[in-house]
Amino acid sequence: MRTALLQSSGRPGSVVENLKVLDEAAARAAATGAGLLVAPELFLTGYAIGDDVARLAEPADGDSADAIAELAGRHGLAVAYGYPERAGDAVYNAAQLIGADGTRLANYRKTHLFGCFEHDHFHPGDQPVVQAELNGLTVGLMICYDVEFPENVRAHALAGTDLLVVPTAQMHPFQFVAESMIPVRAFENQMYVAYVNRVGREGEFEFVGLSTLAGPDGVARARAGRGEELLFADADPVTLAASREANPYLKDRRPGLYGSLV
């Protein structure tokens, strides 16, 4: 499945403008035959927007979800995007996957919050593995810091995730995560990982870009620079099956030895 990675911070604070950016990217992605477009963490609203996070938060089935469902159907491709989700009095750092027919396929709430900003503005989610079937692949969702916990990604591997989609807001000086950790996560868990970042400065944060789609051989199929960019790479189920057959990591596990981890 051709996957489009939208490396952009959009227009922080403006849902309307960010929907326009997403629409334009979806049109470009669909023209290349992409089946999935992935946008960064909190793309709908912006990341470093302070108390506006709560003001702009929406339910998973809110107006913006409807707008993204419409553009996904119009362009004929699935869309995964980050947004602040309101559920009652709680606000979650969430990511949603909407299918090419406009169906809401999966909604994930970030389980591992990073830093004071996130702890001040969000509740943590408590469901580590969220998946959906898309174009012959099992797609899993995570957000940014979640992927830095090996237990999280291994849980997806054991649940059969083929393509792990990770909207992110990865900042300086942690660019080694994009450069080194993501390809290793893909290799050790025998999956594709699409890690899609913000760029530039927002408030106190400097986002470093470097979005990538890494394959099960640990090789980056595409790698962005430090600016706004729409890049493409393929998640190939044939390559994935062959890699899993050749790589013994998951078969050679000895879970009985790992009790001390929990």
Q: What is the C-alpha end-to-end distance of the chain, expressed in Å?
A: 36
Q: Which of 87, 153, 92, 86 is nearest to 119 (CA)?
A: 92
CB 13 within 8 A of CB 49: yes
- Select which of 58, 110, 118, 202 is catalytic: 110
* CA atoms lying within 13 Å on the CB side of residue 25: 31
Give Dmax (Cα) for the chain.
51
- What DSSP string describes 30-94? HHTT-SEEE--TTTTT-SS-TTHHHHH-B-TTSHHHHHHHHHHHHHTSEEEEEEEEEETTEEEEE
188 as an active site residue: the answer is no
Q: Which of 63, 65, 2 is nearest to 28 (CA)?
A: 2
Question: What are the structure tokens assigned to 152, written together?
Answer: 């999280």
Is 31 exposed, middle or buried (CB count within 10 Å of its CB: 0-12, 13-18, 19+)?
exposed
- Select which of 58, 85, 118, 144 is catalytic: 144
- What DSSP string describes 154-200? HHHHHTT-SEEEEE---BTT-THIIIIIHHHHHHHHTSEEEEE--EE
Q: Between 182-189 and 150-158, two packed helices, what is the crossing angle to 10 degrees?
A: 40
144 as an active site residue: the answer is yes
Question: What are the structure tokens assigned to 220, written together?
Answer: 């980056």
Question: What are the structure tokens assigned to 169, written together?
Answer: 């807001």
- Catalytically active residues, by annotation: 41, 110, 144
